Structure 1
Amino acid sequence: MGGTMRALVYEGPRQLELRTMEIPRPGEQEVLVRVHWAGICGSELSGYLGHNSLRKPPLVMGHEFAGVIHQVGSRVEGLQSGDRVTANPLISCGSCMECRSGRANLCPQRSLVGAGRPGAFGEYAVVPAGNIHLLPEAVSLDAAALAEPLACAVRIARLAALEPSDSLFIAGAGPIGLLVLRAAQRYGVKHTVVMDVNAERLGIVRAMGGLAVSCEEELARVTPARGFDKCVDAVGIDATRQQCMGIARPGGRVVFSGLHAADSALPVNTAIRNELTMLGSFGYNPIDFQIALKWIEESGTGLETWTVHEPLENGKACFDKLLSGPGAVAKILLELG
């Protein structure tokens, strides 16, 4: 297929330009997706600022998306033009020990649509056929675009081994923190405390049924006597990592998911004396993505009220808004279709 498309191109720190470029061609085992909706991820905000080594200009970013198949490669089976789809953007080799054991997120050859290769901030995106998920008719394309971040939250919840009787603390009310709250509710957890300094994001927490706190004094009043059973750091800085370890109960579990600070000084003696289980959560596995899509089909994402839709040409302004102060916005979806 020839022709041109519009694409939002990252050209350097704080430089996003709407360009016209050639429509990519799918390989034999790939499909060309006409993108309808693409979400802005926190990792792309980091890339936009020039702080993410995976995103090197010039690059069409975007890995949270849904659309309609426009063209299939010559060796693709089971998919056809017109199919409504989303995609797992984490591409793995499929043959290494990690992939064969169901941990494709740890594949040493992994790559990401919108990072190592062009992504969904263009009107068309090429994806391996094996990463495509067909959508049920009941699932809208804009809801399906949030399957990827919800899959991240599913992964965190599964690693945390959440149970209905658990008390849960989440540091950070960004999109992942909010989606972890949603995941916890799906697992039956009734006591979840979320801490953030953004009052409007905390308003979202309350509306979703979580307990919102903004300072250490408020947190102390709602912390169980022995500490929280499970703690999730959805920020990724020294303070929140240390905080999660400090308020987990003896024998509790802490999951680190935020990637902002590369290194942190952690209270290892606390982990030893309290026998804390500490885990990192990176991306998601295929099963997490499937669970996320199932949840969306059954009850949506949980963030519909706080998801904003904007045209692609407003992309740079949306990045700047999310960095300067998102307000009561959990997610921005860019419209391309």
Structure 2
Amino acid sequence: MYTLKLYGKRDIRYEQAEKPQIESSDEVIVKVKAVGICGSDISRYMKLGPYVEGMIFGHEFSGVIESVGETVNHLKPGDRVAGCPALYCGECDSCKKSEFARCENLTVIGSIYPGAFAEYVKLPAENCVKLPDSVDFDTAAMLEPSAVVLHGFYKTAIQPGADIAVMGSGNIGLLAVQWAKIFGAKNVYAIDIDEEKLTLAKRLGANQVINSKDGLVYDQIMELTNGKGVDLALEAAGSVITSAQVFSLCKKGGAVVFLGIPYGDVKVERFYFEKIVRNELKVYGSWNAISAPFPGREWETSLQFMAEEKICVNEMISHCLPLSKGPEMFEAIANKSEPIDKVIFYPELTR
């Protein structure tokens, strides 16, 4: 089968590999129909390199069950599924408390186990979520990032009528805008430096958009909220700058949720840090997309709202390509040579 393998920083190759085989009775093989590039894939491609040299990369996917292990009863060949890529150990203290997102040995496919940038992928049967006919494969490939965002929302006590700011209008931020509306936000403020992304955020539900190139985000938020700030601010950009600025957006007693991962040291100026103390903010870190019963209500609820077309991803997808175009697409993203939003690969397509 054909795959994308990551060998080093900015070194991803379209190569053949052996088709996976079922080795455990609880495993399934999925024929991959659609697989997306995650923001974390870009960071690893550009900055971090692979966990294991030459590993099949990728983890956001949907497909069709090809074969099942002998003890798998709830899935059968031909079933349409999305894949939860997270693999927990089941033995650490967190796993014993069913706190799977806090597993001490948590990993995902595409890291130390073969991933989904491939024609076929293997994973435990419990990691497959069956799809209704109304959810297409492109949408289902974004079930995992939607669940990531919802995992963060579930940590908060946000109520209908709240004001919510979303820092960053990439894929996670755009999903957060939509979830904010579903949670009943009165006003959603989308923040970015890219006017095209802000325009898309407005179409997907943001009431106001803020370009941080136009001045301090703090000043702009205060002007729009009559000097009060927002009830909840979500950091979805994953930059060292926004990870400090986000503390200034909340009103007293507000909450901040970190969804992004800044791959660098975050230096917080006194002005921003004092907001945590003086405004008595609640600060939440949100990691992965899983809970109990595994893979968690994040997946079930995301699928529900996708089926109801209240979480919409089609406008977020800018490129649909054969898997063979992977190396050049990753490099185009790294070089910022063209406007690129969500990229979906179709492994079964030829060149």
Q: Once the two structures are superposed, what CA deviation does each residue of 1:179-213 show, in whole Å capped at 9, x if it has no partner?
A: 00011111111311111111211111121131211
Q: What secondary structure is seen at the aligned counterpart in 2 of 1:202?
A: helix
The corresponding residue for 2:293 is none
Distance in 2 of aligned mates of 1:255 and 1:318:
31
Asked whether 1:99 is paired with 2:95, we answer yes
Asked whether 1:119 is paired with 2:115, we answer yes
**Does structure 2 conserve the Cα–Cα contact (< 8 Å) formed by 1:36 and 1:335?**
yes
Q: What secondary structure is seen at the aligned counterpart in 2 of 1:36?
A: strand
Distance in 2 of aligned mates of 1:289 and 1:325:
32
Q: What secondary structure is seen at the aligned counterpart in 1 of 2:55?
A: coil
Would the alpha carbon gap of residues 185 and 325 (structure 1) be closer, same or farther in structure 2, given more than 3 Å must change?
A: farther
The corresponding residue for 1:238 is 240
Asked whether 1:30 is paired with 2:27, we answer yes
Cα drift, residue 102 of structure 1:
4.1
Matches within 5 A, 1:1-337: 5-28=1-24, 29-51=26-48, 55-94=51-90, 96-210=92-206, 211-215=208-212, 216=216, 218-266=220-268, 267=270, 268-285=273-290, 286-299=296-309, 301-307=311-317, 308-325=319-336, 329-337=340-348
Using the TM superposition, name which of 142-151 and 160-169 deviates more.
Answer: 160-169
Distance in 1 of aligned mates of 2:174 and 2:80:
27
User: Which residue identity does 1:321 align to in structure 2?
Assistant: A
**Does structure 2 conserve the Cα–Cα contact (< 8 Å) formed by 1:143 and 1:301?**
no
Percent identity over the alignment is 30
Distance in 2 of aligned mates of 1:327 and 1:282:
30
Q: What secondary structure is seen at the aligned counterpart in 2 of 1:238?
A: coil
User: Which residue identity does 1:301 align to in structure 2?
Assistant: I
Q: Once the two structures are superposed, what CA deviation does each residue of 1:37-88 show, in whole Å capped at 9, x if it has no partner?
A: 0000011001111425x63321111110000111112232221111111111
Q: What secondary structure is seen at the aligned counterpart in 2 of 1:205?
A: helix
Cα drift, residue 109 of structure 1:
2.3
Q: What secondary structure is seen at the aligned counterpart in 1 of 2:308?
A: helix
Unaligned runs of 5+ in 2: 291-295
What is the CA RMSD across the aligned residues, in angstroms? 2.0
Q: Once the two structures are superposed, what CA deviation does each residue of 1:272-329 show, in whole Å capped at 9, x if it has no partner?
A: 2211101101111222122111111111632212313111111122223333338665
Distance in 2 of aligned mates of 1:175 and 1:56:
26
**Does structure 2 conserve the Cα–Cα contact (< 8 Å) formed by 1:70 and 1:81?**
yes
TM-score, normalised by the number of residues in structure 2: 0.89
Q: How many residues align?
A: 332
Would the alpha carbon gap of residues 56 and 111 (structure 1) be closer, same or farther in structure 2, given more than 3 Å must change?
A: same
Distance in 1 of aligned mates of 2:142 and 2:168:
19
Cα drift, residue 332 of structure 1:
1.0
**Does structure 2 conserve the Cα–Cα contact (< 8 Å) formed by 1:86 and 1:145?**
yes
User: Which residue identity does 2:16 align to in structure 1?
Assistant: T
Distance in 2 of aligned mates of 1:192 and 1:102:
33
Distance in 2 of aligned mates of 1:326 and 1:255:
32
Q: What secondary structure is seen at the aligned counterpart in 1 of 2:48?
A: coil
Q: Once the two structures are superposed, what CA deviation does each residue of 1:137-169 show, in whole Å capped at 9, x if it has no partner?
A: 221112111100000111122223332211111
User: Which residue identity does 1:331 align to in structure 2?
Assistant: K
**Does structure 1 conserve the Cα–Cα contact (< 8 Å) formed by 2:179 and 2:311?**
no
Would the alpha carbon gap of residues 330 and 186 (structure 1) be closer, same or farther in structure 2, given more than 3 Å must change?
A: farther
Q: What secondary structure is seen at the aligned counterpart in 2 of 1:159?
A: coil
Unaligned runs of 5+ in 1: none
Using the TM superposition, name which of 76-85 and 326-335 deviates more.
Answer: 326-335
User: Which residue identity does 2:315 align to in structure 1?
Assistant: T
Q: What secondary structure is seen at the aligned counterpart in 1 of 2:117?
A: coil
User: Which residue identity does 1:303 align to in structure 2?
Assistant: V
